[in-house]
Amino acid sequence: MSRVFNFSAGPAVLPEEVLKQAASEMTDWRGSGMSVMEMSHRGKEFVSIAEKAEADLREIMNIPNNYKVLFLQGGATSQFAMVPMNLLMGKKTADYINTGQWSKKAISEAKRYCNVNVVATSEANNFTTIPPQSEWKFDPNAAYFHYTPNETIGGVEFHNIPEADNVPLIADMSSTILSRPVDVSKFGLIYAGAQKNIGPAGLTIVIIREDMIGEPTSGTPLMLSYKTHADNGSMYNTPPTYAWYIAGLVFEWIKKKGGLKAMAGINKRKADKLYTAIDNSDFYKNPVDKKCRSCMNVPFILKNPELDKTFIEESKKAGLVALKGHRSVGGMRASIYNAMPEEGVDALISFMEEFKKKNG
């Protein structure tokens, strides 16, 4: 069977070149006589894989030398707890902005450890916009400011880095990391689950400025302390070796494609086409405020929701899969991460036009 165009929000499509390379190296990694999955994480083969992946990520994201890159487990969801456990540093409050379902989850977890000051929320607008920065109310005693640059479910994205109130800026970049260049030096900490735009599930990447690595709140398990992982090169225990290796292949693929500037150009073209197709029809609709539409996750609803089921069934038959919207939004969602080829977006747009002709 040939490959489908997979619009899943995550775990998501990976570059076909990467999968083929992994397949060719599956049983014997470059003459080692074993699979990467079977290697000791402390052996020289895996250490070379790990170091190359980190070096390539540093190169493509232009990560300054005073930042550590950690390869962890536990998903972005564990970071919802690790961030307050490690970064409160004796303070009692943290600032969060609430722009969608993932912000909300980060906030409810942080509330277990501190007072959360919600600087602004777009919940009353059904998370279809970002409140203007002029309306945000920071707490002067906050330890840090946390935001979600791209809300994967609502399809809402910050197109500029917000100004934090002289406190470290923390970002959950799970669904936007590597989609375009970003000035890492503006952040205290960036985290991302790998399964959207990096590689397989099971790996979580944390990029942390060195001065943010300190003693966590007393009682914090060693595994949940950034210091533990930073001091041990992410090998305090067995890291997710195979996911780390695949992520490394993805970083090489991005380098070959021309880096993040090139990715940004392709991503913008893909997203623009799809939004234009939606906006130019009275059959489809994207509910998000135009200035904060996501380049990665494009939700759209049909004018007649009774057709949702037919749309999903027929698109699947046409080789376009996982377009069902999140249960909290309904309708459809097309996730168009780096690895979604432009032909996939073109095929989706053609399908949408045909479907409209038949059912409009």
Ligand X SMILES: *Cc1c(COP(=O)(O)O)cnc(C)c1O
- Binding to ligand X by residue 102, rule CB under 6 A? yes
Closer to ligand X by Cβ: residue 139 or 172: 172
Rounded alpha-carbon distances, angstroms, from residue 238 to 37, 50, 206, 247, 298: 12, 12, 17, 16, 36
Give the nearest distance from C-beta 106 to ligand X in angstroms.
7
Q: At what angle do helices 342-359 and 308-317 cross, to 10 degrees?
A: 130
Distance between CA 258 and CA 251 in Å, rounded? 11
Q: Count the neighbouring beta carbons within 10 Å of the beta carbon of residue 124.
A: 7
Closer to ligand X by Cβ: residue 99 or 225: 99
Residue selected from 35, 77, 121, 281 as contacting ligand X according to rule CB under 6 A: 77
- Binding to ligand X by residue 129, rule CB under 6 A? no
Span of 27-35, 74-82, 244-252, 314-322 interacting with ligand X by CB under 6 A: 74-82
Active site residue 196: yes
Closer to ligand X by Cβ: residue 86 or 176: 176
Closer to ligand X by Cβ: residue 154 or 168: 154
- Binding to ligand X by residue 6, rule CB under 6 A? no
Distance between CA 58 and CA 68 in Å, rounded? 10
Give the nearest distance from C-beta 191 to ligand X in angstroms.
9
- Binding to ligand X by residue 193, rule CB under 6 A? yes
Residue selected from 6, 122, 128, 148 as contacting ligand X according to rule CB under 6 A: 148
Distance between CA 124 and CA 9 in Å, rounded? 24
- The identity of residue 138, as a single letter, is F
Could you tell me which of 210, 203, 181 has the C-alpha nearest to residue 49?
203
Q: Out of 29, 172, 244, 324, pick the active-site residue.
A: 172
Residue selected from 175, 225, 335, 338 as contacting ligand X according to rule CB under 6 A: 175
- Binding to ligand X by residue 220, rule CB under 6 A? no
Q: Is 271 exposed, middle or buried (0-12, 13-18, 19+ CB in 10 A)?
A: buried
321 contact partners, CB below 8 Å, separation of at least 6: 4, 5, 6, 7, 8, 315
Span of 117-125, 168-176, 280-288, 310-318 interacting with ligand X by CB under 6 A: 168-176
- The residues binding ligand X (CB under 6 A) are 10, 75-77, 102, 148, 152, 172, 174-175, 193, 196
